[in-house]
Chain A
Amino acid sequence: MTGQASPPAGQAAAAGARHRKSVGWPAGRAAQAGLIVLALVAVVIFPLAFTNQQVSTIAFLTLIFVCAAVAWNLFSGYSGYISLGHAVFFGSGAYAAGIAARDWHITGTAEFALLPFAAVVAALIAVPFGLVALRVRRHTFVVITIAIFFIFQLMAFNLTGLTNGTIGLNAPFLLWDPVSFDQRFYYMALVLALGTVAISWLIKGSRFGLQLRAIRDDEDRAASLGVRAMPVKLTAFVISGGITGLAGALWFFFINQVLPQSGFDPLFDLTVALMAFLGGLGTVTGPMLGALIIEPAQQYLTTQFSNSYLSQILLGALFLAVVLFLPRGLIPTVAAKGSGWLEQRRGRQDVPATGEDGDGGADGTDAGIGSPAEAGTSAAADAGSGDTSAPAATSKGPAS
């Protein structure tokens, strides 16, 4: 019914937009694909090239944090609910694996069968956690997650029968030589990290991801349009928690020990959030980039100065700097700069043409609404680089 009423001008405009896209894309796509392949090759051969234990330890921990930051982002970044309690899942995953290995007498490589178990435990913990915390929004949500985090840390300290209290738990012993030990753990963490990135990417483009992002922008409006906000938020929270728990268990097997203050570490919460903020909240690649920058830097500083306070102070300073100077994160900022530069170079300054209300036809009261927008685009396409803004600006004047 509405379709036939649409003016052909609108279609022309849409076609114009499509045409414009096709100009820049093939080269960009190829470059992108090439970069991804290159990066994959690099991360696969990395542990073969660098067998130094200090390096491989940092590499493994970095991958664990890539996984944790991307998992955090697929809930907090997409939904806008900033969680500072994800260490609950990390620690629970580690403790679930540790307790199960102890109580069920699991030794050697059989411990890896506990990884899915750890993920399930963390996901199950995310259900009541989410049902309580997701009833409130924004700042209140952040505070609730911190409170729940401390409840879990206190439990780890005090439920000594289950957790061994301050003594902590040890992982089953593995009979691997140091080099292959690090390499195997590296590849397991790599698979986990890549899988998490893939899940995050799938969710972002999906209907579920769109619902999450709509909730981030205006939860009540989304609900009124039929998005069932609570189940959507809770599902993302559970997925995110489960993956974080899996990462926690793998970390525990590598480190060989979990203590209440290392499994349930408040710094973990801040670090993961900072990684996502630095790279770009709500983007697929941002949190990954953030983790690749922050974790090696932090580990390097810790080992260099044998004083972890320095890296903590720098971490805090970096957090402030990101919030103040890079609120959107690296990826979106660079992308905006890059596309702005490309637009300028091509002389397609869309900005003045789109800034108007579609009121290009000054007295075109009966004209199809599509036509002014199209006039704007075609003007931008036809005119040379310099004088593009002039006609659009003058046509805007008398109308508004």
Chain B
Amino acid sequence: MTALLSTAGIAKAFGGVQALDDCSVEVQEASITGLIGPNGSGKTTLFNVITGYERPDAGQVQFAGRDITGYAPQRVFAAGIGRTFQLTRIFPRLTVLENMIVAAQHTGDGSRRFRNPLARAGGAADRRRAMELLDFTGIAAHAGKLAGTLSYGQRKLLELSYVLVADPAIVLLDEPAGGVNPSLVNQLSQRIRELNAAGKTFLIVEHNMEFVMGLCHHIAVLDYGTVVAAGPPSDIRDDPRVLDAYLGTAEDDDEPAA
């Protein structure tokens, strides 16, 4: 097993708040790894550091044997790390299909070195691939609609779809199940499993324990910006440190785990 993505000793402070402190996480290739922890434990900050939205104060991010620390978001994306946001970031006044084509900057028709800028957006190859992915996530029927008219759950599916357009090696999902109705959550985890079976790696931040425990091969637990436990779901479920992190204990009050 090799780690496709790993962070080593990441630290990040916002003013006096130490959001991440010596945070080291490993994501094995072709795994589904979960990242859990209480609110404010630094999960989204870690995502931001990995994907280039925040610069870490210390530590390294390694991806596929390369040091990608401090890369700008577009370089991280081009390198093969796709990411969705907790509050979905789609393009509301573009159609669903256009959203997909925007994400195809580096693939298919978009990857040619010289191209006619006035050519119609999205060549046949891009469109076919986009429709395949929309079919796969189940929102193909809405391809011609403005993305802003989609429901919350559909937006999450759209964001996942357009991140997949670029065929990233790893997909980081920030609370994919948050605010999505239960039947759609099941369909979502089904799709993630299928993609994983085809070799795609996932790193997932999620509060829905059922979703995480059922889906992930490996789970890392963050608390106060540092990893307090890591292992397969069965171990994590019963780990006292995890229960501490979520429920708190009498001794927990004096000092955060450093």
Q: Interface on A for B, CB 8 Å cutoff?
A: 1-3, 5-7, 10-11, 13-14, 16-17, 202-203, 205-211, 213-214, 216-218, 220-227, 282, 354-359, 361-374, 376-377, 399-400
B76 and chain A: residue at smallest CB distance: A224
- A225, B105: Cβ atoms under 8 Å? yes
**Is B229's CB within 8 Å of the partner chain A?**
no
Scan residues 127-151 of chain B and give those whose CB is less than 8 A from a CB of chain A: 131-145, 149, 151
18 residue pairs from A and B, CB less than 8 Å apart: A2-B164, A2-B198, A6-B136, A7-B138, A16-B141, A207-B115, A213-B98, A214-B91, A217-B92, A224-B53, A225-B105, A227-B102, A227-B105, A358-B138, A358-B157, A365-B187, A366-B186, A376-B141
Q: A206-B117, A355-B151 are in contact. Are A226 and B183 (CB under 8 A)?
A: no
- A3, B132: Cβ atoms under 8 Å? yes
Whole-angstrom distance between the alpha carbons of A33 and B137 in the complex? Answer: 37
Q: A208-B118, A365-B183 are in contact. Are A10 and B138 (CB under 8 A)?
A: yes
- B187, A211: Cβ atoms under 8 Å? no
A13 and chain B: residue at smallest CB distance: B141
- The total number of A-B Cβ pairs within 8 Å is 171
Q: How far is the CB of A357 from chain B (nearest CB, A)?
A: 4
B105 and chain A: residue at smallest CB distance: A226
Q: How far is the CB of B4 from chain A (nearest CB, A)?
A: 17
CB-CB under 8 A from A6, the residues of chain B are 132, 135-136, 140
Whole-angstrom distance between the alpha carbons of A5 and B137 in the complex? Answer: 10
Q: Interface on B for A, CB 8 Å cutoff?
A: 51-53, 73-74, 76-78, 83, 89-94, 98, 101-103, 105-106, 110, 115, 117-122, 131-145, 149, 151-154, 157, 162, 164, 166, 180-181, 183-184, 186-187, 190-191, 194-195, 198-199
Q: How far is the CB of A389 from chain B (nearest CB, A)?
A: 16
- B120, A206: Cβ atoms under 8 Å? yes
B123 and chain A: residue at smallest CB distance: A207
- A222, B91: Cβ atoms under 8 Å? yes
- A373, B138: Cβ atoms under 8 Å? yes
Closest 7 CB pairs of A and B: A369-B138, A226-B105, A224-B73, A6-B135, A10-B135, A217-B91, A13-B141
CB-CB under 8 A from B94, the residues of chain A are 210, 213-214, 217
Q: A363-B183, A368-B138, A399-B183 are in contact. Are A225 and B93 (CB under 8 A)?
A: no
- B77, A224: Cβ atoms under 8 Å? yes
- A210, B102: Cβ atoms under 8 Å? yes
CB-CB under 8 A from A216, the residues of chain B are 93
A358 and chain B: residue at smallest CB distance: B138
CB-CB under 8 A from A227, the residues of chain B are 74, 102, 105
Q: How far is the CB of A270 from chain B (nearest CB, A)?
A: 24
CB-CB under 8 A from B102, the residues of chain A are 210-211, 214, 222, 225, 227
